[in-house]
Copies of this chain bind each other. A is one copy, B any other.
Amino acid sequence: MLKTAICDLFGIKHPIVQGGMTHISTTELVSAVSNAGALGIIACGYYLADWVREQIRLTRQKTNTSFGINIPLISHHIKEVIEVILQEKVPIVVTGAGNPEAYIPEFKKAGIKIVPVVATVSAARRMERAGVDAIVAEGTESGGHIGETTTITLVPQVVEAVKVPVITAGGFAGGRGLAAALALGVQGIQMGTRFACSTECIAHPSYKQKILEANDCGTAITGSTTGLPLRGLKNNLTEQFLAMERSGASKENLNQFGHGKMFKGLIEGDVEGGALPAGQIAGMIKDIKPVREIIAEAEKVIAGLKNFKTGGC
């Protein structure tokens, strides 16, 4: 079994992290991923602190191994959520949508590992200086909120720029990508859309089905004009949203229009009127299967790479 620096750092068997996906990275998926030897991540989204506490406790009931929690720093409840995370001593915190520097001392004091998601080399450098434990370098092919640089160009530049372990996200659905990522010099990959299409994920079956039907051109980026671009499956909603953007709709109108649409798509299964965050790799995903099989398949590919020097090429 190929071990990398993040296996020790996070206390996991496989160099695989599950992406924190709002509404659907809940205790069901998280505990399945962690029990399979990878790193499950609870997504806080904009949920209240009490919901977050419940998710953490439920996860602890279902798994004895390591897991993490993803907090978008733009959440209105960020202070209360962080308080809960500190109280519950979640071992690993992944931060997104903002700069976590202000919170780093508290997390470190509590022995919690901090792993920010970044989309540029300069952000990676700044985060390393601020004392984070590892970095997720996320390419524009990711689902959800994204930057502009692609995984295959961003990753080797981040790996050269920092000394902390780098995990990459954006464009991964299995072992072939994991092997490529290791060649680029990272210590692990994060997969989101692939885990959304697991048996255990609570996402609505219609959303999962829509991922299975997507091809390589199946996603679109909305919200570029609002400063918070989001990649998701093309549907009536993305067409409407893009038409509004082309006709010069204000950020306020766009945000109002988008409000609540992710819950509608992911949980209620409204695949035309809801938002369906998904990565460009959706076209590679052709089945819904248990988390354990997803991880075993990836592991099988890299099992042949015992002599593969990660970061060495």
Give me the interface of A with B, judged by CB distance under 8 Å: 120-122, 139-141, 148-154, 156-157, 160, 170-172, 175-177, 179-185, 215-217, 279-281, 283-284, 301-302, 304-305, 307-309, 312-313
Contacts and interface: CB of A to CB of B under 8 A. Distances in A.
Contact of A153 (B121, B183, B279): B279
B122 A139 contact: no
A309 B300 CA distance: 13
B152 A217 contact: no
A183 B2 CA distance: 16
B313 A302 contact: yes
A216 B151 contact: no
A166 to B, nearest CB: 13
A167 to B, nearest CB: 15
B152 A170 contact: yes
5 contacts: A148-B217, A149-B216, A150-B280, A152-B170, A154-B216
Contacts of A279: 153
A294 to B, nearest CB: 15
Given A120-B216, A307-B307, A313-B301, A152 B180 contact: yes
**Closest 8 pairs (CB-CB, A-B):** A152-B171, A179-B183, A153-B280, A180-B183, A180-B180, A141-B150, A150-B150, A301-B313
Contact of A157 (B284, B308, B312, B313): B284
A313 B304 contact: yes
A216 B171 contact: no
Given A122-B215, A313-B302, A177 B157 contact: no
B175 A152 contact: no
A168 B171 CA distance: 15
B150 A177 contact: no
B301 A121 contact: no
Contacts of A157: 215-216, 283-284
